[in-house]
Amino acid sequence: MAVPTTGQWTAGICDCGGCGPCMGAFFCYSCLYGRVVHRNKHFPRTPEETSFSYVNSDCLIMTLVNYVTGGCGWILQFLKRTEQRERFGIEGSGLNDCCCTFCCSPCTLAQANLDLKTRAEGARLLDQNGAPAQTYEKQETGMVYQPPAAPVEVQHVHEEKH
């Protein structure tokens, strides 16, 4: 999938990115929220490259806010959605973010997760100049330095040996 640098989300509001994120968004909303916030903080690195845990501080904050306010955690997600939209130059408005997040928090959370994942994959493939990044594989052994070869005497055909 081509990654737009600006203008639009990389996935639609109903495109969750597979069964896992979709189920996570509906049944373990706080954990997926924690993952999305973590992806945003550590962009473009993968959660596996960082000290990610599904039960992180953002997950606990979302759980606490939902428990204390009776389900108003969508406001936290609305703020993070707006932050993500502005960071990547995605078209839209605060009102649109608010309405989408209020009406279907799991859908917008799955969309944000997939968008960050897709953008991060694209960013890891490009260097600072926008060119494809060089990928190097770690060698099992270090470099081996060969000593210079001993100089060889070359005799010309017309020279006589003394």
pLDDT tens digits, 92-120 = 999 999 999 999 999 999 999 999 999 99
Residue 30, pLDDT above cutoff 70: yes
For residue 152, is it within any domain?
no
The pLDDT, as a whole number, for residue 114 is: 93
Nearest by Cα to 114 from 7, 25, 48, 26: 25
Give me the domain span that covers residue 52.
25-122
* Domains in the chain, number: 1
132 φ, ψ to 5°? -55, 135
Question: pLDDT band at 28, cuts 50/70/90?
Answer: very high
Q: Which residue has the higher pLDDT, 10 or 134?
A: 10
The DSSP secondary-structure symbol of 5 reads: S
The pLDDT, as a whole number, for residue 150 is: 77
Whole-number Cα distances in Å, 40 to 63, 72, 86, 132, 144: 19, 21, 12, 22, 42
For residue 160, is it within any domain?
no
For residue 34, is it within any domain?
yes
For residue 158, is it within any domain?
no
pLDDT tens digits, 41-72 = 999 888 778 888 888 999 999 999 999 999 99
Average pLDDT, the chain: 83
Question: pLDDT band at 158, cuts 50/70/90?
Answer: low
The pLDDT, as a whole number, for residue 1 is: 46
For residue 49, is it within any domain?
yes
For residue 127, is it within any domain?
no
What span, in angstroms and rounded, lies between the C-alpha atoms of 38 and 49?
11
For residue 8, is it within any domain?
no
For residue 147, is it within any domain?
no
With pLDDT > 90 as the criterion, what percentage of the chain qualifies? 51
